[in-house]
Structure formats: structure tokens, C-alpha cells
Amino acid sequence: DAGVIQSPRHEVTEMGQEVTLRCKPISGHNSLFWYRQTMMRGLELLIYFNNNVPIDDSGMPEDRFSAKMPNASFSTLKIQPSEPRDSAVYFCASSWGGAQGHGYTFGSGTRLTVV
Amino acid sequence: KQEVTQIPAALSVPEGENLVLNCSFTDSAIYNLQWFRQDPGKGLTSLLLIQSSQREQTSGRLNASLDKSSGRSTLYIAASQPGDSATYLCAVQGGSEKLVFGKGTKLTVNP
């Protein structure tokens, strides 16, 4: 298994531009999570999906952020318009087993820099 | 709201030393606790997963314990090596599927 695949690995964009981050979860996993990591706040959950349905988006910072999961093998996180304070590493993770907890697998992350 | 605290924030030890990393959480109603390792500029690698009904898990030189009632977990690393240098993150999963993370302990093992 190739694991959780994220693209791009690095993204540098200008303030005001739209940014789209992509994630392919592990086949068979039914939950997908988007996390953001900064030095100040550590790892924060933005949103998670179960069976392609958004379950909890309370961590999405504001309306500029949106996420979709059109099918079991693909998800996007979009920021429009982007701002310098959005600069962070964005991780995608997937898991199976629901609340019983069978562990997460994380992707390698996308390092976003907004200038 | 669940909060996870890791102490110390940073630790530097000589090679060969045994060490303990600490994690505490405020809400004991958890399904499991997971320890991760993160190397600089990299993603997270799962080390050990302890279900709420378990007391400990072992993998090689790593041993993680869980005391759910007191809201504590420890990660024990035996005979530390320079390759163990990384940031170690503790995370708990509660009633939903969300993982709540601590801010990590940055470990440096000096040759």
C-alpha cells in the first residue's frame, strides 16, 4: 500500500490566490481527516469525513476554507482567498474502524507558504 | 474540551540512556491513545496504539503505558540511539473519531 498520498508537497502562493490541497486516503479506510500544524498551535483538526460525508468541520477557521470528498479515494482542501496566516503544514490522515479506534495513518503533508 | 499536555517540551540525553516521555489528558473518557514520531519536515509515523481497555503496548525498544483513570500515559524508550532523535507526539481519541494532540516532546540523543 502506498499510504496516504498528498499533493503538492510544497506550495508557495501569493496572498489572495486560491490554493487547493489534495489527498488520496488508503484504500479501504472509511474516515479522512485534515489537520493543520503550526509552531504556535501544534496539530489542529480542521475537518473530518466518514464514508465521504463531512462529520465535524468545527475546526475550519473561517469561510475561506472549504473541503470536499467526492468519492472514497479523493479529498480536497481549498483556501480562497489565501492569507499569510494560512502558512502552515497541512496533513491528511485516514483510518478505519470508526470510534473503535484502529489507528490513523498520516500523509507526508503539504507545506503551504503564502507571501 | 479534551486537552493533552506533554512534558517535557524538549529533552536531550546521551546515547544509551533509558528515558520516559510523559503525556496527560484532561478527559478520561477516551477510546484509545496513540504515540507518533515526527522527524523534521516529515509527516507523522505511528509508533504505538493503546486501546482504552489495555494497560500497555510494546514494540521493540518502545513501551507505552496507559492509566486512563488518572489521565496519564508514558512512552519508555530503552537504550536510546541518535536515530531516535525526533519529536514525539501523544494523541487521544475520544467519543468521536477526532484525535486531539499534545504539542510534543522534542528528543535529542547525543552520540
Average pLDDT over residues B11-22: 97
Residues of chain B whose beta carbon is less than 8 angstroms from a beta carbon of chain A are 31-32, 34, 36, 41-46, 49, 51, 89, 91, 93, 95-104
What's the grid cell of residue A46? 480542521
B89 contacts A33? CB cut-off 8 A: no
Establish, for the pair of chains A and B, how many residue pairs have beta carbons separated by less than 8 Å: 58
pLDDT value for A98: 57
The nearest CA of chain A is from the CA of B83 a distance in Å of 19
Q: Which of B51, B101, B104 sits opposite A101 (nearest CB)?
A: B51
In this prediction, residue B65 carries a pLDDT of 97
CA distances from B85 to A50, A59, B22, B27 (A): 34, 31, 16, 30
**What's the confidence (pLDDT) of residue A101?**
53
Are the CB atoms for B7 and B104 separated by under 8 Å?
no
CA dihedral (B13, B57, A89, B98) positive or negative: negative
Question: What is the pLDDT averaged over residues B95-110?
Answer: 90
User: Nearest CB to B93: which of A42, A101, A108?
Assistant: A101
CB of A25 within 8 A of CB of A94? Answer: yes
Residue B31 to residue A99, Cβ atoms within 8 A:
yes
Which tens digits make up the pLDDT trace of A5-52?
999 999 999 999 999 999 999 999 999 999 999 988 999 999 999 999
Choose the closest CB to B46 out of A48, A98, A105. Answer: A105
